[in-house]
Amino acid sequence: MYRKLKSSLKRHSQSSSKKTPDMSHVVSVSIIGRNDRLNTSIIGLLKRTKSFKHLASYSSFESALTDFTHRLPDIALINSNSTDMPSTHQIHSLRQKFPSVQILLTTTNSDESSIIALFEAGVSGYILRPLPTASIVAAIKELAIGDIPMSPQVARTVVQSLWHLEAPPTAKKHLENLSKREKEVLELLSKGFGYSEIAQQLGIQRGTVQRHLHSIYAKMNVRTRAEATHLYLSR
């Protein structure tokens, strides 16, 4: 299962780097879920963001899949609760039929087996609610630039799953290329901290954290924080 998870994360990162929308044009977002209050709030923020637009909303997964044939979004945002989680089959079906669509799931379900199974099925990001609407929109932006947005608890679950894998032989060499500050950022990242939390811990700006991460990814020859933390923890 763990190797399947790593393969899935690698596939997502490669898909993001090849098919992630060019941020020079407007990124379309379709929303799936029955949480009307949350959906309305997200739509309101998207309308005030020049680089993103709300394409459509759907109350069911089935209606979304049907309409995607005619109106295909760049990102599918699925807002669910523990009682109406999408099945792995549904996620896999969406991924197979529309491979260019990035899937961001927000939910109240923190079950570890569900997190792993849904990443393996094809979700591109997994965010736990409740949290501010602005944080969900921030996760959409992270996904659009090729990252894999995860809540700290989700990141810890993914990282712990990757502990079971052996690091490639070049891991130690990659880590030696990192600066002291980059290693500090990576250490906190490996503990499941988000960008804002890392910034607070180190007394730097969130944008500075992101710049350090881009440098870390380049030096370690990885595309996502999951891959970077796996290399770090397996050193």
Q: Say whether both 117 and 92 belong to one domain.
A: yes
* Residues with Cβ within 8 Å of residue 35, at least 6 apart in sequence: 79, 81
15 vs 224, higher pLDDT:
224
223 vs 136, higher pLDDT:
136
163 vs 143, higher pLDDT:
143
CA distances to 17, 48, 151 from 132, in Å: 28, 16, 13
State pLDDT tens for residues 101-115. 999 999 999 888 888
Instruction: Find the domain containing 84 and state its range.
Output: 2-151
What average pLDDT is seen over the chain? 82
Whether 42 shows a pLDDT value over 90: the answer reads: yes
3-state DSSP helix/strand/coil % of the chain, to nearest 5: 55, 10, 30
pLDDT at site 7? 54
pLDDT at site 101? 92
Whether 67 shows a pLDDT value over 80: the answer reads: yes
199 vs 15, higher pLDDT:
199
The residue among 99, 122, 151 that closes a domain is 151
93 vs 82, higher pLDDT:
93
227 vs 81, higher pLDDT:
81
Whether 22 shows a pLDDT value over 90: the answer reads: no
Measured between alpha carbons, how far is 19 from 146 in angstroms, rounded to an integer? 9
158 vs 203, higher pLDDT:
203
Q: Say whether both 116 and 220 belong to one domain.
A: no
pLDDT at site 136? 94
Classified as helix, coil or strand, 212 is helix
Domain count for the chain:
2
Q: Say whether both 180 and 113 belong to one domain.
A: no
Q: What is the CATH number of the domain that holds 182?
A: 1.10.10.10
In a domain, 46, yes or no: yes
pLDDT at site 17? 46
Tokens representing 222?
């990885």
Q: Say whether both 50 and 137 belong to one domain.
A: yes
pLDDT at site 231? 75
pLDDT at site 198? 87
pLDDT at site 73? 95
In a domain, 146, yes or no: yes
In a domain, 159, yes or no: no
Q: What is the CATH number of the domain that holds 100?
A: 3.40.50.2300
Classified as helix, coil or strand, 76 is strand
